[in-house]
Amino acid sequence: MSETREKLLRYYRGTEGADVAEHLVDLAEQAEKSQKFRLSDFLDPFGQEIAETIAANYPSVVVDFDGGYQGAERCRALFEDRDFAGAPSFDIAVVKAAWNGTFVRLGHRDVLGALMSLGIDRGKVGDILATGDSARILCDKKMVPYFLENLKEIGAAGVTVTEDDLAAIAPKEERCKEIRATVASLRVDSIAAAGFGFSRSRAAADIKADKLKLNWQSVKNASQLIKEGDVLSMRGRGRLEVEEVRGLTKKGRTSVVLKRYL
């Protein structure tokens, strides 16, 4: 095992990213050895951070990301040798599942559940863009025939599935609001309570229920400390970025500036 590989795997050992890191190290080393490129499955933002860290440790390799449209959350990582002169593709397609929105309401969770019930690997699916009567599903291009043939129902609703046009997906426009608050400490439960607008006891309960993530990893303890640049995400409530820690007030509380994405 190379020194670089051992160092990276040791760094992520025992974390939620251990398996992802091992796979991405394999891809980076394959790209380096072949002097060509290797493409990952779709990664969440934490996986993308791991990919960037790995690429930074292989001087002859660069990494790029694409999720099929501007602003995508789940993206594929492409590790490429710096001297490779080709034009690799991210091999991303989009299918559209449509249903009668007059009689049934379906959302992201319903669509994802239907895909998982078909045994589809989550890594082969990118963002799911659901509206009142349809959902666009970003996916590995090789998955399109399988979707067209096998995705017949979402929940109790019958769906019609067709291949759609990536260019028709509008760039993601994120709305956010700035929150200025003072907190007793930089504990994750205090920050979550201030940013999402509920009590610390509620935040602690949500942490126990594994609803809150810090930098896309599960929060294990309500007393875990945060720092500038950290991102909290909560199921059903969106994301919260710690934009600035401004220091102590005269009353000994900590002043923070948070950015909540709606």
- For the ranges 46-55, 88-97, 102-111, 121-130, which has the lowest average pLDDT? 102-111
Output the DSSP codes for 119-178: T--GGGEEEEEE-SSEEEEEEEGGGHHHHHHH--EETTEE-EEEE--GGGSPPP---EEE
pLDDT digits (tens, 9 = 90+) for 187-234: 999 999 999 999 989 988 989 888 898 988 889 899 999 999 999 998
- pTM exceeding the 0.85 threshold for the entire prediction: no
- Identify the bridge partners of residue 181 per DSSP, sorted by sequence position: 256
Q: Assess contact for 72 and 138: CB atoms under 8 A.
A: yes
Architecture per CATH, domain 3-81, reads as 2-Layer Sandwich (3.30)
φ/ψ (deg, to 5) at 144: -55, -50
What are 163's two structure tokens? 């291949």
Domain ranges of the chain: 3-81, 92-168, 176-261
What are 178's two structure tokens? 């700035």
Distances (CA, A) of 128 to 37, 155, 247: 27, 16, 39
pLDDT at 120: 96
pLDDT at 1: 63
Burial of residue 175 (CB within 10 Å: 0-12, 13-18, 19+) is exposed
- Superfamily of chain region 176-261: RNA-binding S4 domain (3.10.290.10)
92-168 classified as CATH 3.30.70.330: yes
φ/ψ (deg, to 5) at 120: -80, 130
Cross-sheet strand order for the sheet of 217-218: 176-183, 254-261, 238-248, 231-234, 212-214, 217-218
Arithmetic mean of pLDDT over the chain: 93
pLDDT at 32: 95
Asked if the model's pLDDT at residue 89 lies above 70, the reply is: yes
pLDDT at 196: 92
pLDDT at 174: 75
pLDDT at 217: 85
φ/ψ (deg, to 5) at 212: -110, 135
Closest CA to 79 of 21, 42, 40, 45: 40
DSSP tally for the chain: helices H, then strands E = 7, 15
pLDDT at 148: 97
Across the range 247-255, mean pLDDT stands at: 93
pLDDT at 191: 96
pLDDT band at 23 (very low <50, low <70, confident <90, very high): very high
